[in-house]
Amino acid sequence: MNTSVTHRQLLEACLSGNKVSRLPVALWRHFPVDDQSPQSLAAATFAFQQIFDFDLVKVTPASSFCIKDWGSTDTWVGNPEGTRDYGKPVIRNPEDWAKLKPLNPQSGALASQLECLKLLKGALGSTTPVIQTIFSPLSQAKNLAGKNNLVSFLRRSPQALHEGLKTITESTLRFIRACEETGIDGVFYAIQHASVDLLSLSEFSEFGKFYDMQTLEATGKLWLNMAHIHGDNLMFDELTDYPVQILNWHDRHTQPDLRNARQKFNGVLCGGLRRWETMVQGTPVDIENEARDAIDQTGGERFILGTGCVLPIIAPYGNILKARDCASLLES
């Protein structure tokens, strides 16, 4: 594998559409239990990177990190993706949205995450890009209200929800600005409601995209921003104008596939590998076959090999290593 270029140089070439010396590869995962302190999350993330040497480091705290200071609680009960289960919802009534106040990123759980980023940047240096997970305001609202309750608030108490989303957006903007000061290279912007299974196009435009575009304005000084579109039956076309450099979604399970997405989005595409069927249950041969197919779909240009979402924590070591070794496929 060609190691003459740094991770940053490789990704800069990938983003510009220039010929790359090898295929960029990036996988990320949760670190349950370790994600409960900035020091242990930084150490676990750094150790994972030391083993597999991916071309970017996506920092994956528990999704509660951005809403804990509003009173959210959660527990890890063994989910194989490493995610935690939420406790009693913070928002129970429409009037509760107005009780939210903008958070100070220099205190509480947000400050802890900033400390994690500082530790990682110090350990990794400037040649390995670091991107911080940012949940969209609507995704944060879902976790505050409970995933089965958000749509009810949206349709029965829309103005109350808007009040909450304004506060969540302001808090998120403050946090992104503070993250920028740690020296990170970009954000991983998680969008969870751009699906016709959940909302109508007009509902997503009003409650999702409206606040997404405000939030993403704060990332303009960063060079490596990735939007993750979660779920099935996506409103993909509605997100192709988002001001990000990279799009990531479950390309092996829902439309568009990589080939068709290339016609819709001019930036970099990230995906190609199935999380469960291939990375957990498959073989190294399966991984190489999917990687070769992804290269065929994209021409190996403006493409990062990865999974459509977080890597399950039970993925075998050998399979992860094989995915990383697929970087050499463009050299053959």
CATH code assigned at 182: 3.20.20.210
Dihedrals φ, ψ of 136, to 5°?
-60, 155
Rg (CA), the chain: 19
With respect to residue 71, please indicate whether it lies within any of the assigned structural domains. Answer: yes
With respect to residue 1, please indicate whether it lies within any of the assigned structural domains. Answer: no
With respect to residue 235, please indicate whether it lies within any of the assigned structural domains. Answer: yes
With respect to residue 76, please indicate whether it lies within any of the assigned structural domains. Answer: yes
Q: Are 82 and 32 in contact (CB under 8 A)?
A: yes
Q: Note down the domain range covering 323.
A: 7-331
Number of domains the chain is built from: 1
Q: What is the pTM of this model?
A: 0.97
Encode the chain (332 residues) as per-residue pLDDT tens digits.
455 899 999 999 999 999 999 999 999 999 999 999 999 999 999 999 999 999 999 999 999 999 999 999 999 999 999 999 999 999 999 999 999 999 999 999 999 999 999 999 999 999 999 999 999 999 999 999 999 999 999 999 999 999 999 999 999 999 999 999 999 999 999 999 999 999 999 999 999 999 999 999 999 999 999 999 999 999 999 999 999 999 999 999 999 999 999 999 999 999 999 999 999 999 999 999 999 999 999 999 999 999 999 999 999 999 999 999 999 998 74
